[in-house]
A = this chain, B = another copy of it.
Amino acid sequence: MSNDYEVSRLNKVRQQREKAAYDRKTVHAILDSALLASVGFVQDGQAVVVPMLYGRDGETIYLHGARKARVIRLLEETTTACVNVTHVDALVYARSAFNSSMNYRSASLFGTPRLLKDPAEKLHALRAITECTMPGRWDELREPHENEVKMTGVIALTIESASAKVSTGMPDDEDDDYEIPVWAGILPLESAFKTLQADDRVIDGVTASDAVNDMQGKCL
């Protein structure tokens, strides 16, 4: 398998091309460090965007929802869906509004959604979604009931095309503007997990596992 996604009309980054990346490693790293994907599909000829949890297993992205949910039904019928995942890392305070911007890591992928029917494949996908979101959690939980698996619609989307766009560093101002006596720089934004809060109904003496405890303080 090539290290890079092929550049086509679909995934080509047109603006600020110097920020573009097409290698799988960069795209996968962005996907693996986020929680939420913005999934786009077409309904009645118009675009609808839905935020969804997801899991990645190699070149496959798994999405899930209630079996009867609109997003699952429409993804089932869609030939190509678009998934975007973006982190904002900083506000960039430039010396002009024109050059003010953000630092970010963004990945966009395209693929043909496929509704999973085989219960074993569905379980594999649900495990991937749970483990990508809450590492170590799947094995701490009871097996899903047959009915729960039945009620869950799971979509597998093989990444057929993808690109990343990454913006880092300090403002890039117009030459003349560096003489303006205005402060410029960046304001980092950090998304971090805080302290666990237990449900009142946790059985006395039951504590969070190491895997769950270790999430505290982690940054996306």
Contact partners of A148 in chain B: CB under 8 A:
96-98
* Copies of this chain: 2
How far does the alpha carbon of A36 sit from the alpha carbon of B87 in the complex, in Å?
Answer: 9
Chain B residues, CB < 8 A from A104 = 36, 51
Contact flags (1/0) for A193-210 with B, using CB distance below 8 Å?
A: 111111111110011110
* A interface, size bucket: 35 or more
Contact B47 A40 (CB under 8 A): yes
User: Would A14 and B203 count as touching, CB distance under 8 A?
Assistant: no
Chain A residues numbered 84-116 whose CB sits less than 8 Å from any CB in chain B: 84, 86, 88, 91, 93, 95-98, 100-102, 104, 106, 108
* Interface membership of A79, Cβ < 8 A: yes
A76 CB, nearest partner CB in chain B, Å = 15
Contact A199 B182 (CB under 8 A): no
Given contacts A15-B65, A47-B78, A191-B191, 10 further A-B contacts (CB under 8 A): A38-B51, A41-B47, A42-B47, A46-B80, A48-B82, A91-B134, A142-B177, A188-B194, A189-B194, A190-B192
